Amino acid sequence: MTTHTLPGHPHFAYRDKDLFAEGLRLSELASIHGTPLFVYSKAAMLSALAAYQRGFAGRQAQICYAMKANSSLGVLQVFAQAGCGFDIVSGGELERVLAAGGEAGKVIFSGVGKTRAEMRQALLAGIGCFNVESEAELDVLSDVALSMKLRAPVSIRVNPNVDPKTHPYISTGLKGNKFGVAHEDALRIYQHAASLKGLQVVGIDCHIGSQITDTTPYLDAMDRVLDLVDAIEAAGIALEHIDFGGGLGINYNNDAPPEADALWQLLLAKLDARGYGAKKLMIEPGRSLVGNAGVCLTEVLYVKPGEQKNFCIIDAAMNDLPRPAMYQAFHAIVPLTQAAAVATASTYDVVGPVCESGDWIGRDRDLSVAAGDQLAVLSAGAYCMSMSSNYNSRGRAAEVLVDGDKAHLIRRRETLQDQIRQEQLPAV
C-alpha cells in the first residue's frame, strides 16, 4: 500500500487510490451520510493545538480557541477537553461553549457590538475577560456590572496599526478598521477604564487580522503593544495578561505560514528581551486550529462543457462554502478516489447549484470527472460551516468527527422542517 499525505493536511492521506481521514475511507462516509458532508479529524485538531502548546511550554499561557472559525458543539468539545478556553463574540457563542462543556472562567468576549443583555449574560456566567473595543463600551459595561454589584474584568483591544498583508476583509488591526481603539488614544482610555467603579482592568489585547503567513506583522505588532504596556504600567495600571489575538494562516494553496511553535519562539524572545517574559499570555487562534482539520465532501451532479468554460456542477455551493464567493479564496479540490488515468482531465470551473454567478468553489481546475464522482474541498474546517446559510432554501450540510477508526455524526443534515420551524403564515 502506498500512502500519500495531503499537503498541509496531517491525518488526511491517500492510501493507494482512496482518500482517508485517519482510519476511515472518505467515500464510505459520503455513502453513509450523503453529501455535502463536512468531515473533521480530531487528531488533526489536536496536533494543530499541540504546536501552540509546544510553543508555550514552561510559560503561563491560555489558548482561547476563536470559535467563530467553527462553532459546532462536537468541535468545541474537543478543545474544551484539551483544556482550552474560548474567544467568543456573542451570547450565542457563550451558550455553545457551556453546552459543549467549556469553562466560563476561560472565556474571553471580543467584538465591537456587545449588547447590555450579552454583557449581563457573560457576567452572570463568570467569564474570564471582556475584550473591550471602544470607550463607549467601557462605560456601558461598567454600568451593567455595577447594576449587578459586580466588577467586570476587562482588557482593551488596541490597534497596533500594522499591515498584516492579508485580504482587506480579514485585516483588522489597521487604522481604518472598525475594531479596537487607536494606539495613540489607548493610554487615555486605559486611565478612563481604571477610573470606572464597575471595571477591573486585567489585560491588554490586540488582533491584527487573519490568514497571516508572515512573521513580520506579528513582531511589529508585539513591539507596538509592548510600548503601550510600558506606558500603561508606568501610569500605575497593572496588567495581568497580554492577549495577542489569533490570525495565524494555514496552507490553502502553497501558502507557507510559520508553525505556531516557531512563531511563538520569536515572539517570546521579544517578550523576554523587553522584560515581559513572566506575564500571562493569552491567544485567540481560530483558523490555524481547525482549518486544515476539515474537508467538505461533495458529489459531481453534472459536467457541462461550454464554449468558453467547462463547468463541473457539484452538490455543495456558496451557502456551504462561502469563502470563494466572499473573498475569492482558493480551496484545493481533489477526488475521493484517484482516477486511473489523469490524461482525461479537462479544465473546469467547479460551481454549485445556487442561482448566482458568484457561486463558484474553484476556478480553472484540472480535473478528471464525470457525474457521480465524489470530490473533497480541502481546508474546509474553518469559516465554512460557521458561515453557512440557508440561501436558496438549501439545508445545512451534515458534519462528522473522525477519531481514529470511529466516525461520530456531530450534526445531522438540516431538513426543510428545521428550516421553516420559526416561520408562520399570517392568519387570513
Contact indicator for 130, 94 with CB cutoff of 8 Å: no
Q: d(Cα 377, Cα 373) in Å, to the nearest integer?
A: 13
Q: How far is the CB of 32 from ligand LLP (least distance, A)?
A: 28
3-state secondary structure of 392: helix
Scan residues 56-75 and list those touching ligand LLP (CB under 6 A): 66, 69
Nearer residue to ligand LLP within complex by CB, 85 or 245 = 245
Position among 41, 77, 90, 110 found at the interface with ligand LLP (CB under 6 A): 110
Position among 207, 279, 365, 396 found at the interface with ligand LLP (CB under 6 A): 207
* Backbone region of residue 59 per phi and psi (left: phi > 0; alpha: psi in -120 to 50; beta: other values): beta
Position among 70, 72, 142, 210 found at the interface with ligand LLP (CB under 6 A): 210
209 phi and psi angles, rounded to 5 deg: 155, -170
Count the Cβ atoms, other than its own, within 10 Å of residue 60: 13
142 binds ligand LLP, rule: CB under 6 A: no
Q: d(Cα 347, Cα 197) in Å, to the nearest integer?
A: 64
137 binds ligand LLP, rule: CB under 6 A: no
Block residue for cell numbers 482558493: 330
Q: d(Cα 54, Cα 331) in Å, to the nearest integer?
A: 28
Per-residue interface string for the shown chain with ligand LLP, residues 227-256, x marking contact by CB under 6 A: ------------------xxxx--------
Q: How far is the CB of 158 from ligand LLP (least distance, A)?
A: 12
Q: How far is the CB of 352 from ligand LLP (least distance, A)?
A: 17
With contacts defined by CB under 6 A, name the span among 263-271, 285-293, 351-359, 410-418 that binds ligand LLP: 285-293
379 phi and psi angles, rounded to 5 deg: 55, 40
Cis status, amide bond into 164, omega within 30 of 0: no
In the residue annotation, 296 being an active-site residue is answered as no
Block residue for cell numbers 467568543: 88
Nearer residue to ligand LLP within complex by CB, 36 or 257 = 257
With contacts defined by CB under 6 A, name the span among 205-213, 216-224, 337-345, 412-420 that binds ligand LLP: 205-213
Residues contacting ligand LLP: total by CB under 6 A: 21
Block residue for cell numbers 522584560: 275
Position among 323, 331, 394, 396 found at the interface with ligand LLP (CB under 6 A): 323
Nearer residue to ligand LLP within complex by CB, 25 or 54 = 54
Exposure of 301 by Cβ count < 10 A (0-12 exposed, 13-18 middle, 19+ buried)? middle
87 binds ligand LLP, rule: CB under 6 A: yes
Block residue for cell numbers 477610573: 195
Block residue for cell numbers 472562567: 105
Position among 129, 170, 196, 268 found at the interface with ligand LLP (CB under 6 A): 170
Contact indicator for 108, 131 with CB cutoff of 8 Å: yes
With contacts defined by CB under 6 A, name the span among 71-79, 181-189, 206-214, 333-341 that binds ligand LLP: 206-214
Count the Cβ atoms, other than its own, within 10 Å of residue 419: 14
Exposure of 167 by Cβ count < 10 A (0-12 exposed, 13-18 middle, 19+ buried)? middle
Nearer residue to ligand LLP within complex by CB, 33 or 241 = 241
383 binds ligand LLP, rule: CB under 6 A: yes
Scan residues 286-305 and list those touching ligand LLP (CB under 6 A): 286-288
The cell for 247 is: 490570525
45 phi and psi angles, rounded to 5 deg: -65, -45
Block residue for cell numbers 461553549: 97
Per-residue interface string for the shown chain with ligand LLP, residues 6-45, x marking contact by CB under 6 A: ----------------------------------------
Nearer residue to ligand LLP within complex by CB, 243 or 373 = 243
53 phi and psi angles, rounded to 5 deg: -60, -40
Nearer residue to ligand LLP within complex by CB, 177 or 419 = 177
Q: How far is the CB of 368 from ligand LLP (least distance, A)?
A: 29
Catalytic residue (choose from 84, 129, 312, 355): 355
Residues making contact with ligand LLP (CB under 6 A): 66, 69, 87, 110, 170, 172, 207, 210-211, 245-248, 284-288, 323, 327, 383
